[in-house]
Amino acid sequence: MTLGNGNQIRLADLPLRPELVGEEPYGAPQLDVPVMLNVNENPFPPSAKVRAQMGEAVRELTKTINRYPDREALGLRRDLASYLGFGLTSDNIWVANGSNEVMTHLLQAFGGPGRTLLAFTPTYSMYPEYARNTHTNYVTVPRRHDFTLDAELVLGAIREHRPDIVMICTPNNPTGTQTPVSVIGEICAATDAIVIVDEEYQEFTEVPEDSALALLPRFGKLVVSRTMSKAFALAGGRVGYLAAAPAVVDACRIVRLPYHLSAQTQALARVALANTAEMLGQVDVLREECQKSQQWLRRLGLQVVPSQANFCLFGRFADRHAVWQQLLDRGVLIRETGPDGFLRVSAGTPEEMAAFRTALSEILHHQKMIGPDEETTK
């Protein structure tokens, strides 16, 4: 054995799992720029009143910070059930550190070696990461040409691939496309697989109450995933949750690590839920900004995917990275994601969206646009 400076060891020198060799850490660029429109956050922070309540809640719990937090987060789960409605109770709710951990718990419980997760692309780019990290086989099937899903397409894919888990993101990231609840009902009625409906952006839709939550009494293997990172303006708090049959919650409790959700996280989330109307007070503004952006981009002659979320996908550019870079050079950060030639912009404040429109207008006449069936330069 050769001894040397431990700090100089390379990743390639470590006994990494074979499927991780050559992989890079996932994550959107985190850059200090004036206008950040790349990760679909709510750009409006909590009010001074809510921040004061959060501060007081955290200050109070420091009196017992030497003790472990509520392992089951029962108070927070009750609050989330009350927020969702649909007759749900705390027994129907599981909560974790962001939807990333919620999804990981689900795949730890229902995925794993010899099991398959089916998703429909383009869709959220973390799904293959969840599958890889839990040794779950990941299979994808393309969406329709307009990025929609219907029961015929999904059920055909289920018959072909026989998955253990079916993932439906609605509104879909990165396209913003919504899948009707009636379609989800048809899918659940025709499969024995666990069906996860990822509703992270549901509050931004035109009718937020039109949710797969309504199907839970009928289907015991249906899971609806939500988050407080988007509409609730609590991305830094890291709170994701799901609604499902109590047995699904118990399955997540088996695989979760004890004391996984800090006392601070639970306290911040409960304050936010106690101020739901205020925390969601800017959702209408963001929904309007997103719709205005789609209309403006179409007037420029760009291809825009109709979105029911707080972001929209637009293009198609022969070299989308060049467009992304030129926007960044002007202090505007958006996301280079989705199908070739497309970019995604989040809804920001009216001032941020004005800055985005100004920057894009300055560079568009230098960019080559391509049709739906043309190839990009990369």
Amino acid sitting at position 21: V
Residue 8: the pLDDT is 86
Q: What percent of the chain has pLDDT over 90?
A: 90
- Say how far apart CA 266 and CA 138 lie, in whole Å: 32
The CATH topology of domain 28-44+282-364 is: Aspartate Aminotransferase, domain 1 (3.90.1150)
Per-residue pLDDT of 207-228, as tens digits, reads 999 999 999 999 999 999 999 9
User: In the predicted model, what is the mean pLDDT of residues 174-188?
Assistant: 98
Average predicted confidence (pLDDT) for the chain? 95
pLDDT at 236: 96
Angle value at C-alpha 246, between 172 and 118, nearest 5 degrees? 35
What is the pTM (predicted TM-score) of this model? 0.94
> How far, in Å, CA of 357 to CA of 20, rounded?
40
> DSSP of 200-228, one letter per residue?
TTGGGSS-TT--GGGGTTT-TTEEEEEES
Rounded to whole angstroms, the Cα distance separating 27 from 75 reads: 31
Left if phi > 0, otherwise alpha if psi is -120 to 50, otherwise beta: which for 133? alpha
Task: Please check the confidence at residue 51 and state whether its pLDDT lies above 80.
Answer: yes
For the chain, counts of helices (H) and of strands (E): 12, 12
Q: For residues 231-260, give the mean pLDDT.
A: 97
- State residue 28's pLDDT score: 85
Q: Does domain 48-276 have CATH number 3.40.640.10?
A: yes
pLDDT of residue 156: 98
Q: Sorting pLDDT into bands at 50, 70 and 90, what band is 1?
A: very low
pLDDT at 126: 96
Q: Which of 87, 154, 92 is nearest to 123 (CA)?
A: 154
Distance CA 196, CA 242 (A): 9
| Domain ranges (residues) in the chain | 28-44+282-364, 48-276
pLDDT-derived band of residue 231, with 50, 70 and 90 as boundaries? very high
Kindly state the average pLDDT of the residues 299-310. Answer: 96
Give the residue carrying structure tokens 């509050």: 203
Cβ-based neighbour number of residue 78 at 10 Å: 17
CA-closest candidate to residue 127, choices 115, 139, 113: 139
What H or E segment, with its residue span, contains residue 226? Answer: strand 222-227
For residue range 102-124, list pLDDT tens digits in order: 999 999 999 999 999 999 999 99
What pLDDT digit, counting tens, does each position of 132-148 carry?
A: 999 999 999 999 999 99
Output DSSP code: residue 257: P
